[in-house]
Chain A
Amino acid sequence: MRKEVIKLMKAFRIFGRSIRDAAKSVIRNFSLSFASIMCTTITLLLVSVAIICAVNINNATKSIEDELSIVVYLNKDITEENIENIKADIESQKNVEEVVFKSKTEWKDEMSEYDDTFSTVLNYLDENPLSDSFIVKVVNVDKLSDTALYIKSINGVDVVKYGEGMVDEVITAFDVVKKVVAVVVIALILVTAFLISNTIKLTIFSRRSAIEIMRLVGASNLTIKIPFIIEGFIIGVIGSIIPICVTIYGYVVLYSLLNGHVFSNMIVLLKPYNFVFYVSGILLILGAIVGMIGSLLAVRKYLKI
């Protein structure tokens, strides 16, 4: 028991000294540390822009897709019982998320509100010329047209509308955009990791004699690695400060300049608060982790003898 306590105390002392040594070496090798920090800063800025674009594009496509629905007009002579049956039939489909009944009276009221001319014309007629309908939301918009086709085949269904043609094209376009953005973000993160680890390698290359001496005087490999890993962590964290500030300030300003949407009301930007903090968190963690891994990889090279 006592032995283990002593071992633990030793480990703590080594860890404490590692933090001190790491901080010292960031300062003593300032020009190289500065290069690593700048490299981290620039690549994290790019990553930040990519993440913000990706999340916003994803969000916009998702909200547009959510708006997509199938409108099912029923035959004029439909009975109450038939309506229930058709609703049950549509709901039994896997791809159907929600079915809302909209009676012809509701349509009439809505259209009357929308335009006075409609109201006049509709009131002129004795009978409501509109049809009862369902508004169907789907789970997967890719299968929108399949679901629409099925609904059309149900007995009692008159017309099915889902913005054919145009919808298919929009969905395909969104799919392509999403994939491209995902690839760009992943590629950028990889490039960041590679660049940072390479720059840190340079700083460690200049200290390979120190590593050699550490080994010769009996430092264990872990004791040698820890200060370098902490140094990578410090560089990563310092390097993420500027990108975080730019992200928070820049996005808030951009949001208020554009009034929260791009091009048209269709593409709505995410609200800045909380979102910018999530992105900042990602940048901080990314910087720290990439810094540590970069250092670790670089030191390992000099520990193989």
Chain B
Amino acid sequence: MKFIELKNVNKVYKNGVTALADVSVSISKGEFVFVIGLTASGKSTFIKMLYREERPTKGTVMVGGLNVGKLRNRKVFKLRRKIGIVFQDFKLLPKLTVYENVAFALECVGMKSKDIRPKVMSALERVGLKDKVRSFPGELSGGEQQRVCIARAIVNEPKLLICDEPTGNLDPKTSKEIMTVIDSINKDLGTTIIMATHDKDIVNRMKKRVLLIEHGILAGDYAKGSYKTNEGI
């Protein structure tokens, strides 16, 4: 069975807007997939469906063997512990230090303090922020904040890393650095990565599998390196 599998997924919001219509796609373990599309194309809904921020109106969403659409509110944490999520707006807790922000993900799970420390340090080392552990998010640049967010997402060693426009707020140079970090996570740890983005340069340069979503429909599924045009972004 595939790691992620969407079958005939429909999503209609309460206000009657159809965000996704009959989307079926499967993604294997260890793949790196870009999800592209214009604003309001249904790309965000697609991503949110994977971490059960939204439920499908029809169809099934399977992630790592869990039927995400059927997951009860109380049980959502079981899915969230298996995946890491990186956001455009970082979503860091401003009153916690870099270390505390990353450790937070492990404390929630009830891990021992002495086990938490090495894991947090190794995650921070991977994103190159080992010397900023005592800083608060407000003291960091955008790129650094995004690295903290990535460290928090991978500290629990998830099988899946979902990135919702992680470079949306960053300049091209910083974006490139962030992409290097994300790519290394995919290559070194074998983490499956699904990344929604607007940035055509990144998509063209990285040469990964690309899912193009237009008006809520899966308009194209391009194999590794076959997507080259600028359409749809």
Q: Give chain A's interface residues, CB within 8 Å of chain B.
A: 10-11, 13-14, 17, 28, 209-210, 212-221, 223, 303-305
Contact = CB atoms under 8 A, between A and B. Distances in A.
Nearest to B113: A13
Nearest to A221: B74
Given A216-B51, A217-B108, 8 more contacts: A11-B110, A14-B108, A14-B110, A213-B93, A217-B80, A217-B104, A221-B74, A305-B76
A209 B93 CA distance: 8
Contacts of A305: 53, 73, 76
B159 interface: no
A218 B108 contact: yes
B152 A217 contact: yes
A219 B85 contact: no
Bin the interface of chain B by size: 20 to 34
B35 interface: no
Contacts of B85: 216
A117 B91 CA distance: 95
B63 interface: no
B108 A214 contact: yes
B110 A215 contact: no
A210 B80 contact: no
Contact of A212 (B91, B109, B112, B152): B91
Interface string B26-70: 000000000000000000000000010100000000000000000
The 5 closest A-B pairs by CB, nearest first: A10-B110, A219-B108, A218-B81, A218-B80, A217-B105
B107 interface: yes
A17 B110 CA distance: 9
Contacts of B77: 215, 218-221, 223
Q: Is the interface of B mostly helix, strand, loop or mixed?
A: loop
Nearest to B81: A218
A19 to B, nearest CB: 13
Contacts of A213: 91-93, 104
A213 B156 CA distance: 15
Contacts of B173: none
Contacts of B156: 217-218
17 contacts: A13-B110, A13-B112, A14-B107, A14-B108, A14-B110, A17-B107, A213-B92, A214-B104, A215-B80, A216-B80, A217-B80, A217-B104, A217-B105, A218-B156, A220-B74, A220-B108, A305-B53
Nearest to B53: A305
B95 interface: yes
B162 to A, nearest CB: 10
Nearest to A28: B95
A149 B140 CA distance: 90
Nearest to A13: B110
Contacts of A216: 51, 80, 85, 91
B73 A221 contact: yes
Nearest to A7: B110
A210 B93 contact: yes
A223 B76 CA distance: 13
A215 B108 CA distance: 9
B47 to A, nearest CB: 13
Contacts of B105: 217-218
A13 B103 CA distance: 14
Contacts of A210: 93
A105 to B, nearest CB: 81
